[in-house]
Structure 1
Amino acid sequence: MSFRVPRPLIFLPLAILAGCASSGAPRPGKTTPEVNALYDRMNQASKGYESSIDQARRGDTPQAAQTRKQALDQLKDASARCGLTPGCDPQRFAAVFDRLLRLKDGSFIEGEDADDTEQGAEVGAQPGDVAGTVAVGTLPQAQRSVTMLRGQQFSDMMVMNGPVKAALELWLTQLRPNLMDAYVNYQMMRYKMWPAYKKADLPEALLFGIMAKESGGKVHAVSRSGASGPLQFMYATGLRFGLSNADGFDQRFDPTMAAQANAEYIDEQLGAFNNNLEMTLAAYNGGEGRMRRIAAGSPGASFYDPQIYGQMSAETRDYVPMVLAAAWLFLHPDSYHLKWPKIDGEAGQIVLKRPASLSELTVCLGSAEDMPQGWFRTLRNLNPRLDPQVSQPVGARLDVPKQLERAYASSCADGPWPILASDLHNAVKIVAPPPPAATSAALVSGSSSGSSSSSKSSGSASKSYTVRRGDTLVSIARKSSCADVEDIAKINGLKGHALKVGQSIRVPVCR
């Protein structure tokens, strides 16, 4: 029998949830010895958890941690067995979870740092609360969200319901490769993105969840609707939070700036939606104006309330649980038989000893430092302003993981590998040469059939394009099926790929 927990719970380990969700229907008035034994273990675990709180308050932190772990392990095991035992009522376990959530000690989520100190000054604390704690279950939903969301830990409320469970399964099956890639990409960029969230007192898991769903950690990702960057800002929204087009570079592609803008946006919307994270995520995906209108029509309703949920687009109904599921997996992979790879994303830098593009560096670095998929994505993500095909001069400084500093010195500064990389890179240019410079008459007419004594006949046509806000050579090239960045740069004589709003350029078109 599946059921819905009466109050939104803090993220719970999979063993507990699976046990509660799959239990058979209880038999009224009849319990077996096996069921009674599970209930006894549940009660013992509950008392053990309460004892750990008392130990922590007395200052015996090591013993408190051990007692708490034993209690939670016992509770998880009994709950999991409940799901396999006919007649066992999962509601009893739900009641225990709910009661333990009222015991403010900040460490219910196993695997997070414990904070067993009394916090009477916490948001939501009321005069007369025992030991400065808050009876969380008595607060209205919005205020309860305030109490649990803020703080150093990821104590956000989440209902582990059908949509979230389905999202967990999707991440762990069909989208597992995407999830793993997103994790690697994030860890390599973590030093650029996490500080903004940390400063805003927002949970890192949330940042990862949004990024995993939005772009998979590819900083140059662009959606069909024009949302761009690792956190997929629309141009107008990005501009509102400081992401503009500077010197031809779309700042939405900068992971540091994008994370800062995202943190500001999330913080703003949490304020607008009384710190309801689900509603905030829905606003991020579906638009804050729409979400505020929907929320105003059903004051106090949760995201999953039919009055709210039924008005969401299919995309937003999918988006919110997918972000939350990815965030939960980020925190608790072991509970889902998931193992994150060990990634050394410490910041580093190299100074080029010879001219090289990011593509050439990728070739000469190979699978250095046990990176089977190579380093192209990481180099692109850490140096978003550089075109990967454009050679950078001697002395240029590039951001790389610190572990690559030694690999660059041994493989790319000298020797056969940079020669090979350069040879392959030059071969690409030969196979797909840029369109020759056309006469001004040919450019005006959109045809390159004419010729002159100083230019060769061109086999492609071009059209005029006026640069708009948010445009970059990368985004313009994506709109063309027969030209890349270098084609457009060369046909227009652009240096440094700099563009200006209102500038008229020629873009090759297919014939």
Structure 2
Amino acid sequence: MKKAIVLLLLTTIGSLAVMAEKADRASLKQIKRIEVLALDTINGYTSIYAYPDENLNDLFAQQMDSLYHSWYMQNSYDTSFFEAENESSDMASLPDSVYVQRLQSVDSFVDLSFNKTVKNFIDLYTQRRPQLTEAILGLSSFYFPMIEEKLDKYNLPQELKYMPIIESALNPTARSRANAVGLWQFMYGTGKMYKLEISTFVDDRRDPEKSSEAAAKYLNDLYQIYKNWHLVIAAYNCGPGNVNKAIRRAGGTKDYWAIYYYLPRETRGYVPAFIAAAYVMNFYQEHNLHPRYPDFPIVTDTIQVRNYVHFKQIAETLNVPMEELQSLNPQYRLDIIPAKAEKPYTLRLPLEKIAEFIDMEENVYALRRDEFFPNNEILVPKERGTTYVADVNGKDRIVYTVKSGDNLGYISSRFNVRINDLRYWNNIHRNLIRVGQKIVVYVPAGKGEQYAQSGSVRMTSQASSSAQVSTEGGFVYYTVRSGDSLWSIARRFPGVSNQDIMRLNNMSGNTIKPGQKLKIQPKS
């Protein structure tokens, strides 16, 4: 009986849709109100029909195609399988009642409504782009556990893990035309607001774990505003400002389908695309779809790196393909991990390589060190344009106080350093500085005191290179400076290793901090 009522209702709604195409906006709102009242009378079936813009799913089709053409896809898959014949064409004529029943069977906090727009997106995933959907299914086995952990941390519905399918097709290196980046497509400002690092070498928007943490926080904040998951999902896509305007224009109602035509065009398709993604991820087998797993390892683990290192050093020492390292660590934009003792970074490796890295860590850092980091500095590859100095070992650190009339060009000329270096050292964007601001400058060793004799400049503790080392009783005592690591300190004393320093100082780990005194016994 219930199925008969549902089918009758679907037929009635379909007739209303034909009427709506000829109606003006006022009439359309009235029809939608009638639908809401009718659907509310059917227990267990709360879907609302939305009148689809026929081109909406083309926007998402283009997004899926962009995944195919991306570096990530080309290096993670044998893409020849995309040319295979469509195996799921025999599933094209499923009755609507089947979709309704399947969506109702999914245990979900987010309402999984069914309508023609949702059906169009299901067809996109299962009929028009089935091979790419199979690639997404394979990628989900790697990314979903990371995402689920963050959603659980903030007590959010687990089905929100389907959002990155809509945002990026699970491509962590995706970049939109509006410069949104990563699995969750964070804009620069939103990423910074949620404490994601975005710098020359690192973009945490491309880090699956850190971006998922930020996304969970953002979704939680949005839910505190709307208390409605459809509106939260829409607001994530177009921003709460656009959703608030749509609510006001719809008379104050907080119902996604009621504000549907007041939302930006692309956002109208966002919730239906999300529902379709949830459907496909739960019922792909019924459409003869099969996960196609990426070439990079699914089973991985992470380790903290405390010295800067190039992917090529890791690849050659551990015999791991560069493409694999890049796929597992997409947040490092230039294949360089700019780690220091006081600021470690995470490296993800195949599980079986973790112990090998620990055993050979010193060899990894030492491999062709001068080639990758000349003068013990991190340099952006020349083919990327201007060179940025990121490490300042061996340099004097001075602090300059900005005066009226100063600009970065004047300061860089005064201290004979690059403007881009000043920006990097001080996290300056768009050349904006203010009177009284403290600007850190690194100058060649021994030049610090010379500059400090002029106005508005003072030396800092790092500049006194003569105070680094003292001797007593046959031992050398080294004072740790900012940027030091056990490896870089050991290099100063021939024959001394990291382990020698750790053993002599009763250290259980390799963590050190500026100002710490280390006892060292040079080898004769």
- If the TM-score is normalised by the length of the shorter chain, which range does it land in? 0.3 to 0.5
